[in-house]
Amino acid sequence: MLNIVMFGAPGSGKGTQSDMLIETYQLFHISTGDVLRDNIKRGTELGKTAKDYIDKGQLIPDELMTGILASVVDENADKARNGVIFDGFPRTIAQAEALDKMLAERGTAISAVIGLDVPEEVLVARLLNRGKEQGRSDDNLETINDRLKVYHNSTAPLKQYYEEQGVLHMIKGTDTPADVFNRIKAELDPLV
């Protein structure tokens, strides 16, 4: 199994690169942001809870998020036979520890963490542009700034966590999506 964690700030290209990677390596893509947005659209209880956090640029509490992730993994065990791309999860050390435990209980582990490195001004420009094109409610300047703060405080420490595990591959996340993809592929091909 090839289990990949996409790690990077909002706007770093995790979703775009995940879409390209699932085709090449036949992986199952789990975007926790997409799972939450789908619940908001369907008006579920989870969606109602998640909306407040998302609109403020805050993280959904770890315990709730970890439970959601475990059920998505288990519901899709068939499709995830070759491996999973985790996109937008983990976002805290507690989530990373929960993911390690969850995978170990299922007899597997993280194969690689792909860290996308993108300068802050490029992130902001990309997110504002996505807000215009896709109308995502959290892609406005105020919420973007809150999300970047949350990223620096809660998510960035994962870099050291995964560096210590020896699974982190940092990638330059600028230039075209195809350029970034080729850099990622060069890191992953030796692992398959």
Q: Does 8 bind ligand AMP (CB under 6 A)?
A: no
State the DSSP code for 43. Answer: T
Buried/exposed code over 87-104 (b: 16+ C-beta within 10 A; e: otherwise): bbbbbbeebbebbeeebe
- Strand residue runs (E) in 32-125: 84-87, 112-117
Q: What is the C-alpha separation between 124 and 121, in angstroms, rounded?
A: 5
**Is 91 part of the annotated catalytic residue set?**
yes
Q: Does 99 bind ligand AMP (CB under 6 A)?
A: no
Which one among 32, 98, 118, 127 touches ligand AMP, defined by CB under 6 A? Answer: 32
In this structure, are residues 59 and 95 in contact, taking their beta carbons and an 8 Å threshold? no
Question: And the tokens for 22?
Answer: 């699932």
**Is 147 part of the annotated catalytic residue set?**
yes
Question: And the tokens for 167?
Answer: 């699974």
Q: Does 60 bind ligand AMP (CB under 6 A)?
A: yes
Q: Does 53 bind ligand AMP (CB under 6 A)?
A: yes
Q: Which stretch binds ligand AMP (CB under 6 A): 19-27, 85-93, 102-110, 159-167?
A: 85-93
Catalytic hit among 37, 91, 126, 183:
91
Bridge partners for 29 per DSSP = 85
Q: Which stretch binds ligand AMP (CB under 6 A): 56-64, 71-79, 101-109, 182-190?
A: 56-64
Ranked by CB distance to ligand AMP, the top (closest) residue is 33
Which residues of the shown chain bind ligand AMP in the complex (CB under 6 A)? 10, 32-33, 36, 53-54, 57-60, 65, 88-89, 91, 95, 138, 147
